[in-house]
């Protein structure tokens, strides 16, 4: 019942504090975890690790439900930020990657890949803004809401920040896998690193996007 209510109820703007709290937790906690490295994760008490994982999933699910309530166009634009950043980073990293981002956690990631992901998202934003101007949709996209609320320059900075926090989510999941000594988080998606590899970047981006656009 609670899940259905969260998905079908009107947007809860009073939850903005939750999105900002989640964003701050990801920035601070993610930075500390990545700085500590994979060897420190197993030292945390098991109940604490389980509680942390459940909390991250619960907040992300609630944010997903709220984004869907805002509108399909809005939700799809948030999802596409993560997907475009991931795709552009992969191809950009393969083509230009030289400087490793976090070799002890995820050896395949590079600073050039991150830059490619950011560039890809900015191109996506330009195309989506043009789409929003010419096609009637059920809601304003993430890009349109950011531009209307902050202006073009701040919209660009906000999108770059979302790409950066998506990288933190990706690295955090890689850190956990290395800490527990597994390659894939599951075998449900062979060749794709497991289910969490499709969700890791969404965990921080969903609440952060709502924090930036919820009034």
**Nearest residue to 159 (alpha-carbon basis) of 121, 128, 211:** 121
Segment 98-109 shows an average pLDDT of: 87
pLDDT of residue 185: 47
Side-chain-side CA neighbours of residue 47 (13 Å): 0
- The pLDDT of residue 78: 97
Residue 17 has pLDDT above 70, yes or no: yes
The pLDDT of residue 76 is above 90: yes
pLDDT over threshold 90, residue 94: yes
Q: Mean of the pLDDT values across residues 46-56?
A: 83
Q: Model's pTM, two decimal places?
A: 0.84
Residue 150 has pLDDT above 90, yes or no: yes
Residues 6+ apart with CB under 8 A from 36: none
Q: Which of 12-21, 54-63, 121-130 has the lowest average pLDDT?
A: 12-21
**26 falls in which pLDDT band (50, 70, 90)?**
confident
CA dist., res. 172 & res. 137, Å (int): 35
Residue 1 is predicted with a pLDDT of 45
């Amino acid at each position: 019942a609670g899940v259905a209510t969260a998905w079908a109820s009107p947007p809860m703007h009073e939850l903005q504090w939750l999105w900002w709290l989640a964003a701050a937790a990801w920035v601070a906690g993610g930075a500390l975890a990545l700085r500590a490295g994979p060897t420190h994760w197993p030292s945390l008490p098991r109940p604490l690790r389980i509680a942390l994982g459940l909390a991250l999933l619960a907040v992300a699910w609630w944010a997903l439900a709220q984004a869907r309530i805002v509108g399909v166009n809005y939700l799809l634009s948030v999802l596409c930020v993560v997907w475009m950043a991931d795709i552009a980073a992969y191809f950009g990293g393969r083509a230009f990657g030289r400087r490793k981002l976090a070799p002890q956690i995820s050896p395949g990631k590079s600073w050039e890949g991150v830059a490619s992901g950011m560039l890809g998202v900015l191109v996506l934003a330009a195309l989506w803004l043009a789409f929003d101007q010419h096609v009637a949709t059920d809601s304003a996209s993430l890009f349109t809401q950011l531009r209307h609320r902050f202006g073009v320059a701040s919209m660009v900075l906000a999108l770059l920040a979302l790409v950066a926090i998506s990288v933190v989510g990706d690295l955090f999941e890689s850190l956990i896998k290395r800490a527990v000594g597994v390659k894939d988080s599951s075998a449900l998606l062979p060749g794709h690193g497991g289910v969490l590899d499709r969700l890791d970047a969404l965990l921080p981006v969903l609440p952060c996007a709502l924090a930036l656009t919820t009034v």
